[in-house]
Amino acid sequence: MTLTKRDLVVRISEETDLNQQQVLDVIQRTLDHISAALAKGDKVELRNFGVFEVKVRKARIGRNPNAPATDVPIPERSVVKFKAGKEMRAEVLKLPVH
């Protein structure tokens, strides 16, 4: 199952006295501020949830699976990494292994 932004809006709206548009505005502004901070290269730490940070992946040589003899240069790039917080890791560890 996938939890979407819409699902969050509906759940939070039902749990509070806020209407769905107010909840959507708060969630969207939160996500916008997180994105803006990461775009500046800042780290975003949400206690008991996790840490988002920008890491630079080094340039490397890849292989084209359709033409394995051909080298494909992959340039250096920035990526967002997420490290789950202690409480989230503990909850996820409770999941049954398939």
pLDDT in tens, 36-87: 999 999 999 999 899 999 999 999 999 888 888 889 999 999 999 999 999 9
Residue type, 32: D
Residues 34 and 70 in one domain: no
Helices 5-15 and 20-39 sit at what angle, rounded to 10 degrees? 130
Residues 1 and 32 in one domain: yes
Q: Give the sign of the dihedral formed by CA 80, CA 49, CA 46, CA 25.
A: positive
What is the structure's pLDDT at 32?
Answer: 98
Rounded Cα gap, residues 40 and 28, in angstroms: 18
What is the structure's pLDDT at 88?
Answer: 92
Rounded Cα gap, residues 50 and 42, in angstroms: 14
Rounded Cα gap, residues 52 and 54, in angstroms: 7
What is the structure's pLDDT at 64?
Answer: 85
Domain, as residue range, for 71 = 54-98
How many domains are there within the chain?
2
* pLDDT exceeds cutoff 80 at 12: yes
Q: Is 49 within a domain?
A: no
Residue type, 91: E
pTM of the model: 0.80
